[in-house]
Amino acid sequence: MRVKLSQYAKMTGVSVRTLWRRIKEGSLPIVRSETGRVFVEIDEIKPRELKVCVYARVSSSENKDNLERQKERLISYCNAKGYKVSKVVTEIGSGLNDKRKKLEDVLLDKSINLIVVEHKDRLARFGFNYIQKLLELDNRKIEVVNVQDNEENDLMEDFVSIITSFVARLYGKRRSKRLTEKIIKKVVDEDTKSL
């Protein structure tokens, strides 16, 4: 049976770019039509196995009980949908923090093709759509269980998160500036002593 390259990419969960690289390497045999279209010859179509990751997050360690309940709700949701959960990730950290190690690991693990979250903001306060589009390039998806329609609450939560983040950065910069000033003073004092 022959299938188009784009169709084969969806079936195998590999990007078209990767398939072209394999064709150039000679590791993926192809058949060209009279018009120049590229087809892949396959014996049987194997559906791509769905590898599901549940991702739960809370902002502070004070909410550990909520984190556990969130995780259990997500697992129950996946069971009800017939998904086999292969990975459960829980994390404590701000939704504005773009250096969450566990989330990075999930996003970089290309074997996971479905990430299930309770709300969009559990994954990221901002940039959710960008993350979603980038994952789609690898035929991966994010499924949001509870899509909120109350934008007023979302905006207020985002506003509070932004102010909190900026205040933390401001105080962090002040501390950093004082430390830099101390280091400079120490270097100047040492240079003065050596003269």
Kindly report the backbone phi and psi dihedral angles of residue 144, in degrees, each rounded to the nearest multiple of 5, phi listed first.
-100, 125
Cβ partners under 8 Å of residue 37, min gap 6: 4
Q: Which one from 59, 76, 165, 194 is the annotated catalytic residue?
A: 59
Tokens, residue 104 = 């990075």
Using alpha carbons, list the distances in angstroms from residue 16 to 23, 28, 29, 41, 185: 10, 12, 14, 16, 57
Pairing of β 52-58 and β 30-32: unpaired
Q: Name 45's Cβ contacts closer than 8 Å, sequence gap at least 6.
A: 1, 3, 11
The token duo for 133 is 């589009």
59 is a catalytic site residue: yes
Reduce the DSSP state of residue 174 to 3 states and report it.
Answer: helix
Which tokens belong to 77?
Answer: 């949701």
180 near 144, Cβ under 8 Å?
A: no
Positions marked catalytic: 59
